Amino acid sequence: MTVLATDQRVAAAELEHIDRLLRPPCQVGPYALTGHLARSATALLFTARGPAFGGGEGVLKLTGTVFAPILRRELDLLLCCAAADLDGVVRPAARELVWLQVGGPNTDRPAAALALPFLAGGDLGALATRAARAGQLGPDLALSAARPIASALRGLLEAIDRPLAHGDVRPQNVLLPRPNASLDELVLIDLDAARELGPAGPTPEDAAILADDVAGFGRLLCLLATGDAEAAAAMPPTSNRPFDTLLARCGGRGGDQYASLADARLWHDLAAAEAVARPRPRPRPLVRLKRALRTLDIRRHRRERARP
């Protein structure tokens, strides 16, 4: 969605005004803002309690009237994903935008807010930091996160009526719902930069965004393997060669760059890397004993043959 330069200046002024007014904890209409999470170019994110969240805590993604259509579009896309029962993509807490009189009841320009669940487990950057402290970075950790992330991105392309490229694949946009959640529960957020793909196939602009999504996916894997999302070019080979291949091709360095997160080659390489990472079952005690006896027999036979 295009915002004219004049509107952009107005929107930035609105956002700055809202940011100055809202200092949690504070009350805005029926919602109690409990904390400030982040600020992007188009919105402010606050933890909050209120009607959309029942008795719990959620997140309000809040912006001014100029950027409200961007928020409305994001809500529509999230509702499409929810209707398709697409796992791994955040589901909105309300089916309509919440309108709030941030400057008081006489404000002539209300703020729009998208109600979302509070994903308290932190983003992929925080996960990588915790893993680094525990010495758990590596291909195994990266591959544990790879499939749920890739499945969500592939679902955006294949499982809904309006195929989407996410357009902003980065650690801050992949979160765990709870601190103790498994990596299978990773959730993709933030569709405000998503691009709808045409029915006649991707245009050159679409293809560039799809390639960016693949490259972003590769940077996520690199972050969980090394602690540095930008280290793919300098990353030394790991013990998992298929993982190295997957990472190289996501960055386009292997001469066989994937077309998108729905590319069959990507899924083939991901499965190959997972197969190498899968722990091999240890032989049962009886099997180990038989092998040991067989080895002794072979050695005894060799000794007997070596005698003059």
Separation CA 92–CA 95 (nearest Å): 7
CB neighbourhood size of 16 (10 A) = 12
pLDDT at 306 over 90: no
What is d(CA 7, CA 172) in angstroms, rounded to the nearest whole number? 27
Written as one letter, the residue type at 216 is G
Which CA distances in Å does 251 have to 143, 151, 156, 241, 278? 16, 19, 21, 16, 24
Interatomic CA distance for residues 83 and 72, integer angstroms: 16
pLDDT for the residue numbered 301: 63
**DSSP for 202-236?**
--HHHHHHHHHHHHHHHHHHHHHHHS-TT-TTTPP
Please state, in angstroms and rounded to a whole number, the distance separating the CA atoms of residues 173 and 125: 10
* Domains of the chain, first to last: 5-117 (3.30.200.20), 124-277 (1.10.510.10)
How far is residue 41 from each of residues 14, 62, 100, 192, 215, measured CA to CA in Å? Answer: 12, 12, 20, 11, 22
86-100, 188-202, 204-218, 280-294: segment of lowest average pLDDT: 280-294
The stretch 252-262 carries a mean pLDDT of 80
Q: Which of 8-12, 34-38, 75-79, 139-143 has the lowest mean pLDDT?
A: 8-12
Q: Taking 60 as the threshold, does the pLDDT of residue 128 lie above it?
A: yes
Do the strands 111-117 and 58-63 form a parallel or antiparallel pair, or are they unpaired? antiparallel
pLDDT tier for residue 60 given thresholds of 50, 70 and 90: very high
Question: Do 254 and 245 form a contact (C-beta atoms < 8 A)?
Answer: yes
Per-residue confidence (pLDDT) for residue 43, from 0 to 100: 95
When pLDDT is cut at 50, 70 and 90, the band that residue 112 belongs to is very high
* Residue-level pLDDT at 287: 67
Which class for 275: exposed (0-12), middle (13-18), buried (19 or more C-beta within 10 A)?
Answer: exposed
pLDDT value, residue 103:
72
The model's confidence at residue 257, banded by pLDDT at 50, 70 and 90, is confident
- pLDDT at position 305 is 67
Section 115-124 average pLDDT: 97
pLDDT of 7 higher than 80: no
106 has a pLDDT exceeding 60: no
Q: Could you tell me the maximum CA-CA distance found in the chain, to the nearest angstrom?
A: 109
Of 17, 42, 44, the C-alpha closest to 102 is 17
Nearest to 192 by CA among 35, 7, 61, 48: 61
Instruction: Write out the E strands in the chain.
Output: 26-28, 31-39, 44-49, 58-63, 98-100, 111-117, 164-165, 174-175, 187-188, 195-196
Asked if 258 and 250 touch (Cβ cutoff 8 Å), the reply is yes
Per-residue pLDDT band for 8 (boundaries 50, 70, 90) equals confident
pLDDT, residue 279, reads 79
What pLDDT is attached to residue 238? 84
Q: Check pLDDT > 60 for residue 3.
A: no
**Checking DSSP bridges between strand 58-63 and strand 98-100, what pairing results, if any?**
unpaired
Q: What is the pLDDT of residue 233?
A: 61
Question: What is the Cα–Cα distance from 160 to 80, expressed in whole angstroms?
Answer: 7
pTM of the model: 0.86
Rounded distance between C-alpha atoms, residue 175 and residue 124, angstroms? 6
Other C-beta atoms closer than 10 Å to the C-beta of 34 total 15
258-279 pLDDT per residue, tens: 999 999 999 999 999 999 988 7
Distance CA 97, CA 114 (A): 5
Least confident of 78-82, 104-108, 115-119: 104-108
Dist. CA 44–CA 24, nearest whole Å: 12
Higher pLDDT: 5 or 183? It is 183
